[in-house]
Each structure stands twice: as C-alpha cells, then as structure tokens.
Chains A and B, each alone.
Chain A
Amino acid sequence: MKTVSSSISKLDGMSLVMGKAAYTDDFVPKDTLVIKVLRSPHAFAKIKNIDTSIAEKVPGVECIFTYKNVIRKPYTRAGQCYPELAPYDKFLLDNYVRHVGDDVAIIAAVDEKTATKAMKLIKVDYQILTPVLDLKQAENSTLVHPEKDIFTQLQVGFKRNKNIVAQIDFELGDTQRALKESEIILKRTYNTQAQAQAMMETQRSYTYLDNYGRLVVVTSTQIPFHVRRILSNALDIPMSKIRVIKPRIGGGFGAKQTAHSEFYPALVTLKTGKASKIVYSRREVFRGTTSRHAMTFDITIGADRDGKINAIDMNGLWDTGAYGEHAYTTLGAAGKKVLTLYNKVKACRFGGKALYTNHVPGGALRGFGVTQGTFALESAINELSKELNIDPIKLREENMIKKGETTPLYNMTTKDAGKEPMYMDSCLLEYCVSRGKELILWDEKYPMKKITPTKVRGVGMAISQQGSGIPKVDMASATLKLNDDGFFTLLLGATDIGTGSDTILSQIAAEALDIDINKINIYTADTDLTPFDSGAYASSTTYTTGNAIIDAAEKMKNLIIKYGAKYFNTVEKNIVFSNSNIIKKDSNEIISLEDFSKKITYNMLFSQLTATGSFVPKKAAPPYMAGFAEVDVDIETGKVEIVNFIGVVDCGMAINPKLAKVQVEGGIVQGIGFALYEEAKYTKEGKLINDTFMEYKIPTRKDIGNIYVELADGYDETGPYGAKSIGEVVINTVAPAITDAIYNACGVRVRDLPATPEKILLQLQLDGSLSCIND
C-alpha cells in the first residue's frame, strides 16, 4: 500500500492554521443583512401577545418574524436519513416557548446594532407556565407539547400526552431468570449530565438568492444534504430550489448534526430577496441549540462468584429536553453498542424511555448515547469486580467479546441484519486491554498508592465500542472525474469537521486508483455539485464514504480500461491500468494517463470519464478501545488530577495513523471534561446557569495530565483497506475509568457525573471512606 496507512499531513492544514479564509463567516458578502433571534427568558410559557410595531420602525430594520407571520408546519431539525426517527415537533416559530433560549422572533436589519436595538423593542406578553424539570416526574406532568399537530414518521413509542418522545425495549434470552439463577446480584443507579459540544466555531449561516432565484445556504454544518431536506420541509419550498454549501467547519462534535442557524437567514432571504446572515453568540449556543442528553440508568447485573456474568438488565431514562431531536437514536445506541460488549451473558435486557422536559434539547455529541451507557455499565462492572474481589481486567477478560466471536444482539439491533451471525473477526479488544495494562503498569499500581499524607493515587479502567456508520441507513457516495491532464476531481458530499476526512478520503482515492495523491483534487460538499452523503456523524466518514470511493475508483478503472481498449483498438482483456499508465499487454505499448486523458478529450473518442460509487454499511464493524486512568485525589480538597490516561484503540487499519491518533487524544480530553468538569446546570425555574465559557468549564491544557495513545494493528475486511471508525469510540472509556481510579484511590464511588471535588469531599467526610488510606 502506498498512500493509505501513511501519516501524511492534512492537505489543507497550512491554510487553516495561517488564518486564510476558510470558514462560513469568512465569505459573507458585503452589506449582508444581520439577523438576531429573540429568545425566551422562560423555561415554559405561552405567548399571549407579541408586539413588533415599535421595533419595526427602527431605521434599518428590514423585517421581523414572529409565530404570527411564518408558516406553521411541524418538522424536525435532526440530521437523520429520511424518514427520520425524530418526532416532527418543532415549528419555525410557535406561540409556545419550551426552554430558555427557544426562539420567539427573528429580526433582520442592516447591521447587528440595529437588529439588537429592534430586538429589545419587541414586547412579548408571556403567560408563564409551570415547567417540567424533574425527569422522574415528566410522564405525569404538564404537557411540554400541548399542540396536537406534532407526530412521528415511524413507530418509536412516541406518546405526546405522556411527554414520551421515544421508547426502546429489547431482550436477549430470559433476563429475569438468569438474574434469579445468579449467585450475586449488583443493583446500581448512575446519572450522566448534559454536556455541551463546545466546538470553537459557533453555529452560523448566510443565505442569498442566486441568479436563478434559488436559495443558496452557506452554513457550518455536519449534514449539508439533510439541511437541504429539512429546510425544504420546514419552509415548504421544493428541495430543488435550495442549494447548501459547507465551507470549512470549526468543529462540530454533533452540535451541527442538528439544523439551527439555517432557518433564520433562509426565511429572511426568501422574504426580502437580500443576503442575510446569523452568527450565534456563545450564549445562544448554550441556550438555543443542544447538548448531550442527561441520562439515568438503573442497572442490575447477575454474576457467579467465579466471575461469570450471567445477566445484565439496563433501564435508561433520557432527558430529551424540549424537542426530541436525537432521542430515539441515542437511546438505541446506549443499549445496543454497550450491551454487545459482554457477549457471554445468558441473557440481557435494555429498556429506555426518552422524556420531554423544559430543558435545552438533548442532541448529538460524540459518543451519542454510547458514552452515557458505557459510563453506567462499565462503572457497574467495576463495582462488580470489587464485590467479587476479582481484578477488573480479569473480569473483563472473562466476559467481554473477543476476536471471532459474536452475539445475536448484533443481529437484533442492526437493521435488516438477517440471521447470519455477525462475527467480530477484526475485534482486537483483548489486545487493547492487555496492551493498556502493560503500558500503565497495572499490576504495580492497582489499586492505589499513597503519595503524600493527603494525596492518594489510584488506577482504573474501562472498555468500549462504537459503530462504523449505520448499516442499511446512512449512505455515502463519491464521484470521480478524470480531467484532461491525467488528474482526478474527487467530489464528495462528506463533511470534514476537523477530522481530516478530506485528506484521509483523498488517500483512499489515490490508493484505489494507484495514483499519486497530488493527482487527486477533492471538493466537498455542495448539494448542487457533489453526490449524496448522509453526513459527518455516526463515525461514518472514513468507513462509509471511504468504501464509496473504492466503488467509484473500481468503476473508473474499468472505464479507463474500456476506453483504453478503444484507444488501442483491442479488447479490454488486453489492457491493464497500472501506475498511471495504460498498457496494451500483447505489444507492451504504453500511454500515460496524462496523454490518454488529453487524447480522449481533444483528439479522439471525445469522452468525459466520470464514475460514481455508493456505499451503505452492511454489518456492524465496531471499533474497540480500552482506557486506563491514573489519578491523584487530594483528600483534603477532593480535587482530582489526571496523572496518566492511556488509550489503546482498535480502529482497524488506520488510513492515516497521525490523524487517527490526534482524534484519540482529543476524544480523551473531551472525556476528561465529561468525567470531571462539564455540566449544564439549571436553576429551579429551568434557567441555564452556565451559558458562557466563563461558567461552563471545558478542560484547558493544564487540566489533562499525560495522555498516551496507541493504535492496535487491526484490519477489518469490510472497511476501506481494513479501516473501521475512530471518531467517537475514543470518548467512552474516560469517565468510567477515571471514576474507578478515584474509587481505588480514596474509596469514593461517584455515580453522578461529573466527579467534582465537592461530591468527592462530601462522600469522604460522610462515610469515612478514608479508612482505606489511613492505616
């Protein structure tokens, strides 16, 4: 292999770091109208009256929208393939506001100052309603969606009149019985918090009408094709009249898998015919978009004293907030991509319910439910290991999935999977665990060491998997065009959100065409020009789009051979295409691709060669990871410091090991934030307290300790050149490994994330957990 499995630098890297125009707001045309959105200060209210008459008189105001003058049509903002699993429960603007930050009015003006001034002059008369803020009571509370016209496209257990957005239940074997027959039962409850995606570039979009009167939407999104469909649905205009272009994206992490900032300028431009833009403020992102779903899990595990895990029962409750955008899908992921880790159980069950509340909506965030589910199950397994007095690594080794194994759960939870068992032939989880154990010096360090009279050091670990795209759902395609100097244009609907996918996918194309990477010009993603791609989510791009590229390249090579045969006036069998040359085998005549492409363009055959390939995953190809944490706990303050975090990841064959590794490092640090610092907090009235970076703390470079990452030498035969995914799996093990390290260090078990010093200190004082270190 020449170009894949090589750590080349990002092709566009230098231009990004040097500050060249690259991102949405860098291209906004002059004199574009600026949009501000008036947002609800209340968690739940009915708009009795809204008066924009004074605001409209402010010189420079172009137009103002409220629920009174926009179309009322339910839709979903969720970036999912059609028909979506998310309920159609959002309106462009409504006379109800369902969370602090929900949109009330849209103001477009000549500049930001004028728009802001007008916004302040809009008078809204709210009838404040009692918000639903207690997840446990949500089913029996006021209806977050009293309107009857919302609905779901598919059966997801949606019950508007119980505030239920989605329900999932699946079972393998007889869980109750397997629990009953077990020698030990462990029952625990875990809570995970709402975490913000906190990408550095906030949501932003600008729109204009092109010369044909079509709406052009330039936007920072992970899902350009879904945005086109969502906008068409929400604004009730034909999809053919919309073009969505994504420039470079300043991070997404799932935040931009939901459409947000696109609706407002689209409305304004359609009404005024003028270009318009919106750039979300950081506060607007916190209040007006989404965060990771807060979840509660009840887990029951049945095991025998020798360490055999017989049964796992998981029950989850999701806070989906005011809109159900990614409720069903995260719920499903939390079950199926977590329970499958332990394939030797006699039985397991997953039940989950996502409920509406008046919090900021839950959405997609790296890990997508699996992070939450992994925290719960892996914490429980760690607790079980203490209960059984078996080393947690040994407990995993005895019960976790290994190379060549399977579980019927994979078939049960994969769309159209059939009965053929899905063997995890590429699974290197066992290696990841043993290598991580070695790297962290587990046997020396487990469980803890006293460092100073007030500082204790512990180690902890966890395992995880994710998916690589979504089988039989999320499709990607690729178009290759041979240009008249022997180079290719690679057109993709895929979106590089900082993963380096433009580079990685170019590597795959170069490899598949057996050509130098300099001969590949990549262009992504413009719904008018590039072929369909479901988007940058579900850890799909390298795997799914990569396979689509290989398909396109195979077709292109066949075309080159076909036209090569015509060129040499021979049969196709007599032609080979290799190393950028077309060779006539019997006579050894050679023409270079450069000359050939010129000839067929200008002199003979007169043909443009293009080939399009598509791919949808057919089976589960999970990447795996083992994460190991070593932490210091200050028993006087409860403060936790990360000493080491070691991650060993099986992502199949890494197309670009360098870019894969930084994905792991970044994911681990985001996981540290989830484990120790980050949480969207609300007041009693449902107001988000920490809605700036001052109050909402993400890890800085001083908060992370030493991070060390290795990639296992893997290969999955369904992946492009053996690759599986990496983007999401890397965040999942961090929190359960860290909380177990904390427990091992000081005896405090944190079951509610994040593990703040207050929580740890309180427990230290309460139950005298320190006894373990005082002797």
Chain B
Amino acid sequence: MKLNVKINGRKKTFEISPDEFLVDTLRNNGYIGVKQGCDTGTCGVCTIHLNGKAVLSCVLLSAKVEGQEITTIEGVQKEAKEIGKYLVDEGVDQCGYCSSGTIMSIIYLEKCIKNPTDDEILYYLNGNLCRCTGYIGQLRAIKKYLEGKYNENSKQ
C-alpha cells in the first residue's frame, strides 16, 4: 500500500506493507539516523517526532501515520549539532547508538518545558535507555546545554 507523509518538511510517498513498523519504513528509505534497539517500545533508541511529539517508531505501524508529519534526526541537524556538542563535551557519546533517540527526546522536552528541573529532565528522558554512559554525564550535558541556551536567551 501507499503511504503519504511529510518527513522533515518534505512530502514523500512510500510503498509499505500494512504490517510494517515506522522504524523500518524510515530506515529502508534512507533515514538511517533512526536506530533500533528493541521491538517492544522499551529502549527509546527509535524515538522520532510525530506531529511534533516524541514517539517510538518501533511500535508504530506505518499505515497509521498516513498524512501526518514526521521529524527524524535528519530533520533537526542544527539542534542535534547544538545538543550533540554538549554530549560530546561531556564524553557521553560512548557507543553513540542511543544518541539520536536521546536527542529527539531532549528537543521534545525543551518544547514542553522551558526551564526543566532535574526531575523533569529525568521524567522526559526516562524512556531513553543507555547502557554505556550511566546517565550521569548525560544529565550534566543536558543541564549545561539548557543553561547555555537560557543564558543566550536572557542576553537578548
């Protein structure tokens, strides 16, 4: 069947099967920044945005997103670079495999809460598992990033 979606601002049509999951549709069509760590919606590695909201593409049937708007890490390279710099500065780009999903969640967190507390950060990112970093450094990086941004904004 045909799937019409808007991905990263562009209209696209894909040939899909009715039981196909979105993570596969995306990866098969070249959006390889989207990674997969499980198929039960438990690790957060496959996080993308659907109509601006963070969702797990491994448990979302492609057929269900007909006509909707999808953003992958490829569509937010500017933000990914900004956030990524803080992750890299903190050394929490270890295997890096969880990073694109984590960054998609951070962008969503920022959208929802302007100046989040530690608890709010942990809440919004709890679904993003990482086996390498131990999370502590990620929290340091996210806080520095948000602080940096907040200071930038307050200057203007």
Contact = CB atoms under 8 A, between A and B. Distances in A.
B126 A282 contact: no
B154 to A, nearest CB: 26
A282 B95 contact: no
A159 interface: no
B95 A704 contact: no
A253 interface: yes
B90 to A, nearest CB: 8
Interface string A570-601: 00000000000000000000000000000000
A19 B73 CA distance: 7
B3 interface: no
Interface in A656-702: 658-659, 661-662, 665-670, 692-694, 698-702
B103 interface: yes
Given A698-B129, A704-B136, A17 B91 contact: no
A14 B82 CA distance: 10
B1 to A, nearest CB: 13
Nearest to A197: B131
A278 to B, nearest CB: 14
B77 A700 contact: no
A17 B95 contact: no
Interface string B32-75: 11110111101101000000000000000000000000001110
20 contacts: A18-B100, A19-B32, A19-B103, A22-B96, A113-B17, A113-B19, A200-B132, A251-B131, A498-B97, A498-B132, A500-B91, A659-B91, A665-B135, A666-B132, A667-B134, A698-B129, A700-B135, A701-B130, A701-B139, A707-B134
Taking residues whose C-beta sits less than 8 angstroms from the other chain, chain B's interface range is 35 or more
A451 B84 CA distance: 40
Contacts of B39: 281-283, 692
B80 A251 contact: no
A731 B139 CA distance: 21
B88 A14 contact: yes
B131 A249 contact: no
Contacts of A19: 32-35, 72-74, 80, 99-100, 103
A13 B96 contact: yes
Given A18-B33, A693-B42, A701-B122, A23 B88 contact: no
A248 B122 CA distance: 28
A237 interface: no
Nearest to B88: A13
A662 B96 CA distance: 13
A25 B135 CA distance: 25
Contacts of A16: 93, 95-97, 99
B118 to A, nearest CB: 10
A688 to B, nearest CB: 15
B33 A20 contact: yes
Nearest to B133: A666
Nearest to A199: B131
A659 B74 CA distance: 27
Contacts of A253: 131
Given A19-B35, A665-B136, 10 more contacts: A10-B91, A13-B88, A16-B99, A19-B103, A20-B33, A200-B43, A248-B95, A252-B95, A670-B131, A693-B38
Contact of A704 (B97, B99, B135): B135
Contacts of B80: 17-19
Contact of A200 (B73, B93, B129): B129
A202 interface: yes
**Which of A112, A661, A700, A701 has the most CB atoms of chain B within a 10 A radius of its CB?**
A701
B17 to A, nearest CB: 6
Q: Which of B19, B103, B131, B137 has the most CB of A within 10 A?
A: B131
Contacts of B40: 282, 692-694
Contacts of A499: 94
A694 B91 contact: no
Interface-central residue, A18, A25, A699, A700, by most chain B CB under 10 Å:
A18
Contacts of A669: 133-136
B5 to A, nearest CB: 19
Contact of B85 (A14, A658, A698): A14
Contacts of A694: 40, 42
Given A18-B77, A20-B33, A692-B40, A698 B131 contact: yes
B92 interface: yes
Interface string B135-156: 1111100000000000000000
B32 A249 contact: no
Nearest to A667: B134
B37 A200 contact: yes
Contacts of A14: 81, 84-85, 88, 93
A405 to B, nearest CB: 32
Given A666-B132, A698-B129, A17 B45 contact: no
Contact of A701 (B37, B45, B72, B125): B125
B87 interface: yes
Q: Which of A25, A281, A282, A666 has the most CB of B within 10 A?
A: A666
B58 to A, nearest CB: 10
A17 B100 contact: yes
B81 A500 contact: no
B7 interface: no
A625 to B, nearest CB: 15
A667 B134 CA distance: 7
Interface in B8-45: 17, 19, 24, 27, 32-35, 37-40, 42-43, 45
A9 B97 contact: no
B87 to A, nearest CB: 5
Nearest to B99: A17
Contacts of B128: 701
Nearest to B58: A282
A7 interface: yes
B126 A662 contact: no
Contact of B91 (A9, A250, A700): A9
B132 to A, nearest CB: 5
B35 to A, nearest CB: 7
A18 B73 contact: yes
Contacts of B93: 9-10, 13-14, 16-17
Contacts of B137: 661-662, 665
A665 B2 CA distance: 46
Given A498-B96, A702-B122, A17 B87 contact: yes
Contacts of A666: 94, 131-134
B42 A692 contact: yes
Contacts of A200: 35, 37, 43, 45, 95, 97-98, 129-132
Contact of B96 (A25, A202, A248): A248
A411 B109 CA distance: 55
B103 A17 contact: yes
A198 interface: yes
A23 B35 contact: yes
Contacts of A199: 95, 97, 131
Contacts of B92: 662
B94 A662 contact: yes
A661 B134 CA distance: 11
Contacts of A250: 35, 95-97
Interface in A466-508: 497-500
Contacts of B99: 16-19
A720 B77 CA distance: 38
Contacts of A444: none
Contact of B134 (A248, A252, A282, A668): A668
Nearest to A20: B33
A128 interface: no
Contacts of A693: 37-38, 40, 42-43, 129
A250 B32 CA distance: 14
Contacts of A498: 94-97, 132
B156 to A, nearest CB: 26
A637 B46 CA distance: 34
A692 B38 CA distance: 8
A21 interface: yes
A500 B94 contact: yes
